[in-house]
Structure 1
Amino acid sequence: MTEPSEGAFEAALAPGTQLPVGRYRLDLATGQWAWSDEIFLMHGFAPGEVVPTTALMLSHKHPEDRDRVDGVLEQAAATGAPFSSVHRVRDAHGKIRTLAVTGQGRPDPDTGDIVELFGYFVDVTGANEDIAQREATAAIQASAERRASIEQAKGVLMVGLGLDPDAAFERLRTASNHLNVPVRDLATWLVEWFRRPGVTTFPSREELVEFLAAPVPPTHVDPPDAATLPGERTGPDVD
Structure 2
Amino acid sequence: MPSPLSADRSAPQPPERDAVDALIDRTRRLRGDVDAVRRDTVRIDEDDPRARWHRALCELAVHHLDDLGTHLGQLREGLPEEPERHTREEAAADEPQGSLIGRVGSAEWNLLTDEVSWSDELFRIFGRAPEAGGLSLDDLPSTLLPEDQPLLTALVTDCLVDGKPIDGEFRIRHADGRVRTLHMMGEPVLDTDGRTASMWAVLRDVSALRRSQQVVHRTHESLRREQHIARAEHRVAVELKEAVLPPWQSSLRLPDQGPGTLDIAAHYLPSETSALVGGGWYDAMELPDGRTLLTVGDLTGHGIQATSAMAVVMGAVRGMAVAGTEPGALLGHLNQLLETSIQPALGSAVCCRFDPSTRTLDWAQAGHPAPLLFRAGSGRPLPLPDGVLLGAASGVAYEQDEARLLPGDVLVLHTDGLARDDTSGRGGARPGTEALLGLAPRFAAARSAQECVRAVVEEFGAAERLDDACVLIARVGA
Normalised by the length of structure 2, the TM-score is: 0.30
Deviations 1:121-174 (A, max 9, x none): 0000111111001000111111111111111112111211129xxxxxxxxxxx
Pick from 197, 207, 213 the counterpart of residue 115 of structure 1. Answer: 197
- The residue number in structure 2 matching 1:43 is 126
- The residue number in structure 2 matching 1:74 is 157
Q: Which is helix-richer, 1 or 2?
A: 1
Runs of 4+ in structure 1 off by over 6 angstroms are none
Is the alpha carbon distance of 1:25 and 1:99 closer, same or farther for their aligned partners in structure 2, counting shifts above 3 Å?
A: same
The 3-state SS of whatever aligns with 1:54 is coil
Name the amino acid aligned to 1:16: G
Name the amino acid aligned to 2:232: I
Describe how 1:12-91 pairs up with structure 2 within 5 A: 15-16=68-69, 19=100, 20-91=103-174
Name the amino acid aligned to 1:144: E
Is the alpha carbon distance of 1:15 and 1:51 closer, same or farther for their aligned partners in structure 2, counting shifts above 3 Å?
A: closer
* Structure number with larger C-alpha Rg: 2
Name the amino acid aligned to 2:147: E
CA distance in 1, matches of 2:175, 2:113: 24
Q: Which is strand-richer, 1 or 2?
A: 2
CA RMSD of aligned residues (A): 3.0
CA distance in 2, matches of 1:97, 1:12: 21
Q: CA deviation at 1:22?
A: 0.4
Name the amino acid aligned to 2:226: A
Describe how 1:98-137 pairs up with structure 2 within 5 A: 98-109=181-192, 111-137=193-219
Are the counterparts in 2 of residues 44 and 93 from structure 1 also a CA contact under 8 Å? no
Pick from 229, 239, 244 the counterpart of residue 147 of structure 1. Answer: 229
CA distance in 2, matches of 1:69, 1:119: 13
Is the alpha carbon distance of 1:30 and 1:88 closer, same or farther for their aligned partners in structure 2, counting shifts above 3 Å?
A: farther
How many residues were matched structurally? 159
The 3-state SS of whatever aligns with 1:48 is helix
Name the amino acid aligned to 1:15: L
CA distance in 2, matches of 1:129, 1:104: 27
Q: Which runs of 5+ in 2 are unaligned?
A: 1-59, 71-98, 246-269, 276-280, 282-478
Of structures 1 and 2, the one with the larger relative CO (CA 8 A, separation 6+) is: 1
Deviations 1:97-120 (A, max 9, x none): 1101101111121x3210101120
Normalised by the length of structure 1, the TM-score is: 0.58
Q: CA deviation at 1:89?
A: 1.2
Name the amino acid aligned to 1:138: H
- The residue number in structure 2 matching 1:222 is none
Are the counterparts in 2 of residues 44 and 91 from structure 1 also a CA contact under 8 Å? yes
Describe how 1:207-218 pairs up with structure 2 within 5 A: none
Are the counterparts in 1 of residues 141 and 152 from structure 2 also a CA contact under 8 Å? no
The 3-state SS of whatever aligns with 1:98 is strand
